[in-house]
Structure 1
Amino acid sequence: MNEPEDSLEARLKRMAGDLGFADCRICRADEPWAAGERLEAFVERGHHGEMGWMETTLERRKAPTAMWADAKSAVMLAMNYGPPASPLPQLEMREHGNISVYARGADYHDLIKKKLKQLARDFAETSGEEVKVFVDTAPLMEKPLAEKAGLGWQGKHTNLVSREHGSWLFLGAILTAAELQPDEAEEDHCGSCRACLDICPTDAFPAPYQLDARRCISYLTIEHAGPIPAEFRAPMGNRIYGCDDCLAICPWNKFARTSAEHKLWARAELKLPELEDLAALDDEGFREVFAGSPIKRTGRNRMLRNVLIAIGNSGEPRLVGGSVVPHLDDEAPVVRGAAVWALSRLDMARFESERARRAGDESDEGVKAEWALTPR
């Protein structure tokens, strides 16, 4: 929608562009929508897994006005984080840990929130209206709002897709009490394409536009705290933090451009870290390596669990002595259990030897179960 150049909406979008946002669109925040019902069904099916906060904040998530009763408009912002090339070929680099594209640079929460706060402050001063800022950490459904505002549409992988930026967009939101002119909602342009559904290594989509987080590698490697369920370990491959498969295969990415935000690509050492180096990290080393990265919030134990699963999938027996066996004595049961599995995959003779020597002394029931499993 074309606003007059001196309108509040036009000035807001110009400010957003000056701050580096790829797009800025507006929608009503106080209208009924179906997204709340879809979220409720998602939780009722148990597809949220261990993300209990989705259940406890369900009522607040179901509508923007449940977050803030005075909200009239939602200003939706998109920041392009398009990578220089498709990350899919890196899945074959089995001695390296594959990190989801969004987490290879600076923490996007900090990056976007700083810009959002500046935009919200300027808008509030200009309009005299109240505002509230949201970046993925509050119970607000950004993707349905972004679709309603016209930034893109929620594809069959449930993520936002843009005709200009493909599937590589960070989202932020500003709710305001201002009555702003809304933009037109975007239509679904997925058509008959199933690429994102068919590439999923763990069949995490029970149907188009539905995700079962309990089967999703992004959920398993980041949100899930316990052992990785056995059926998903081999499909994880070298993915140690997140999974980009469904995003990277999207045909609309042919229109995407490499992000111009240098902070998203400033940490080259996070692109493809070697599994051997990651396996050697203690808690202090983990915090040092991933300082300023969203990965830091996952914690050392969860990351080491993922790294050991990736080592088990690497096909490299040379990693057993220095990277696997030392973690059979790790203080964290989730790490010990992953080390047992990795050993069973890489060196059967060593596995049988260590099982005979250690299994009887193991105190954790979960790790005992790992030793008892038939190696595969």
Structure 2
Amino acid sequence: MPSAEAARLARAIKAWGAELGFQQVGITDCDLATAEQHLAHWLGRDMHGEMHWLAHHGSKRTRPAELVPGTLRIISARMDYLPEYQANIERALADPAQAFVSRYALGRDYHKVLRQRLRRLARRIEAQVGAFGYRVFVDSAPVMEKPLAQKAGLGWIGKHTNLINTRGGSWFFLGEIYCDLPLPADPPAEDHCGRCKACIDICPTDAIVAPYVLDARLCISYLTIEHPGPIPEPLRARMGNRIYGCDDCQLICPWNRFAHQTEETDFLPRNGLDTATLLTLFAWDEDEFLKRTEGTAIRRIGQERWLRNIAVALGNSDSSPVVRDALNARADHPSLLVREHVRWALAALGG
């Protein structure tokens, strides 16, 4: 493909991406040598906890052409998901009776939304150039999405390890198209964190152990979603009312004053999960849990972890007869994991 034609196609891809609801589309090559070194060092310190899949697949994660042979370029795209004003989120986090769910998980499962849009983008490209080799990814394979997005100019990886954009903050999802088209690569984004360490200071469990280094074993998002076993006791009281994920480092980031609320109705809260109380959610049986979380990212943790997380949050709430009654009602739950966290919560409440 001649360079002028490739440049025109790259511009068209970005325009088509905007039409499909992406806030930005960028293009990069396959060189992830620096990210590969960082990943190896991080894994060597066992900071991935129980996320063993991060160490699998050999070098396919950091060498795109090994994962998808023939890959020359990665088309990286971002889509805003912030469902409400940040002040509303902060109020929810400050209410010990309310269940706090990370805002990315309140609506439809983002994997489905972005994958569908990226496939439509790929078909637009195909209609223009004919058949070409590609694969679409949305957090669904060994893909280094944040280093790729930084190289594609979508933002920089902040000290909290999330991607930050100067015009859009960090409340957005990422997705990729690996392709064999020789498109011109965009310049990488520069780091604009400067001397700010607000995210490090605000982290409830001190999981950001150094700038740009997150110890997943301490992170509330990891503990409430990825971690399958008992939550370490020293961390439970520090989790507050966070039952699925944690948004503190994003809420405090000064760049998020430029964040935009989403225009995607799929990302708006479902089933009142943005305002639900801990007691309401703790009372759900398994059928109701499955029904109420259908189509969301929450369902994949299962009801057992859901109850584990809420039990901890109830242990951090205001002690009252109704809270203790709710916990006692689960004291004989079939799951040892749930029973153990219920006992801890009752002890934390003093009875």
User: TM (normalized to structure 2)?
Assistant: 0.95
In 1, Cα distance between the equivalents of 2:246 and 2:314? 17
2:350 equivalent in structure 1 = 347
* Counterpart position of 2:206: 203
- Deviating beyond 4 angstroms after TM superposition, the runs of 4 or more aligned structure 1 residues are 3-6
Cα deviation, 1:76-112, whole Å, max 9, x if unaligned, reads 0000112321123322111111000100111111111
Distance 2:91 2:202 in 1: 13
Aligned counterparts of 1:232 and 1:45: Cα–Cα separation in 2:
20
**Alignment-derived partner of residue 332 in structure 1:** 335
Q: Look up the match of 1:296.
A: 299
The match for 1:115 is 117
C-alpha separation between the residues in 2 aligned to 1:123 and 1:312? 53
Q: Does 1:44 align with 2:44?
A: yes
Deviations 1:53-82 (CA, angstroms, capped at 9, x unpaired): 111234221221221231100100000112
- For the Cα contact (< 8 Å) 1:133–1:175, is it kept in 2? yes
SS in 2 for 1:329: coil
Distance 1:52 1:221 in 2: 17
Q: Which moved more, 1:31-40 or 1:67-76?
A: 31-40
Which of 92, 100, 103 is the aligned partner of 1:101?
A: 103
Going from structure 1 to structure 2, the CA distance change for 1:32 and 1:264 (only over 3 Å counts) comes to: closer
**Percentage of matched positions with identical amino acids:** 43
Task: Tell me the equivalent position of 2:270.
Answer: 267
Aligned partner of residue 126 in structure 2, secondary structure: helix
Q: 1:160 to 1:6 in 2, by over 3 A?
A: closer
1:157 is aligned, of 160, 165, 182, to 160
Residue identity matched to 1:306: N
Matched, 1:62 2:65: no
* Distance in 2 separating the partners of 1:69 and 1:27: 16
In the alignment, residue 41 of structure 1 is paired with which amino acid?
H
Q: Distance in 2 between matches of 1:198 and 1:347?
A: 30
- Please tell me whether the aligned partners of residues 98 and 239 of structure 1 are also in contact (alpha carbons under 8 angstroms): yes
Amino acid in the other structure paired with 2:343: V
Q: Residues 212-254 of structure 1: CA distance to partner in whole angstroms, max 9, x if unpaired?
A: 0000000000000111100110010000000000111110011
Given that residues 213 and 219 in structure 1 are in contact (C-alpha distance below 8 angstroms), is that contact kept between their aligned partners in structure 2? yes
Is the 1:301–1:332 contact (alpha carbons within 8 Å) kept by the matching residues of 2?
Answer: yes
> For residues 288 and 91 of structure 2, what CA distance do their matches in structure 1 show?
28
1:1-376 equivalent positions in 2, closer than 5 A: 7-29=8-30, 31-86=31-86, 87-128=89-130, 129-267=132-270, 269-348=272-351
SS for the counterpart of 2:77 is strand
Farther off after superposition, 142-151 or 66-75:
66-75
Contact 1:313 1:345 in 2 (8 A): yes
Q: Deviations over 1:4-48 (max 9, x none)?
A: 89811111111101100000011112x352101111111110000
176 and 6 in structure 1: CA distance in 2 versus 1, 3 angstrom threshold? closer
Q: Secondary structure at the match of 2:75?
A: strand
- For structure 1, which runs of at least 5 residues remain unmatched after alignment? 349-376
What RMSD in Å do the two structures reach over aligned CA positions? 1.5
The one-letter amino acid paired with 1:149 is A
Asked whether the 8 Å contact 1:99–1:271 carries over to 2, the reply is yes
Do the aligned residues in 2 keep the contact of 1:26 with 1:74 (CA within 8 Å)?
yes
Give the Å deviation of 1:190. Answer: 0.3
Partner Cα distance (1:75, 1:332) in 2: 44
Deviation at residue 279 of structure 1 after TM alignment:
1.1
**Greater shift in the superposed pair: 131-140 or 270-279:** 270-279
Question: Counterparts of 1:177 and 1:347 in 2: how far apart (Å)?
Answer: 62
Verify the 8 A CA contact 1:311 1:319 in the aligned structure 2. Answer: no
Q: What is the DSSP-based 3-state SS (H/G/I as helix, E as strand, rest coil) of the residue aligned with 1:25?
A: strand
Matched residue type, 1:10: R
Q: CA deviation at 1:154?
A: 0.2
Quote the Cα distance in structure 1 between the aligned partners of 2:46 and 2:244. 23
**SS of 1:253 mapped into structure 2:** helix
Secondary structure in 1 aligned to 2:331? helix
Q: 1:305, 1:273 → 2: CA distance?
A: 17
Q: Which sits farther off after the overlay, 209-218 or 36-45?
A: 36-45
Of 258-267 and 41-50, deviating more is: 258-267
Shift of 1:322: 3.2
Contact 1:327 1:336 in 2 (8 A): yes
Residue 316 of structure 1 deviates from its aligned partner by: 2.8
Distance 1:58 1:35 in 2: 14
The answer to whether the Cα contact below 8 Å between 1:49 and 1:213 also exists between their aligned partners in 2 is: yes
Between 1 and 2, higher relative CO (CA 8 Å, sep ≥ 6) is seen in: 2
SS at match of 1:75: strand
The separation in 1 between residues aligned to 2:85 and 2:286, in whole angstroms, is 32
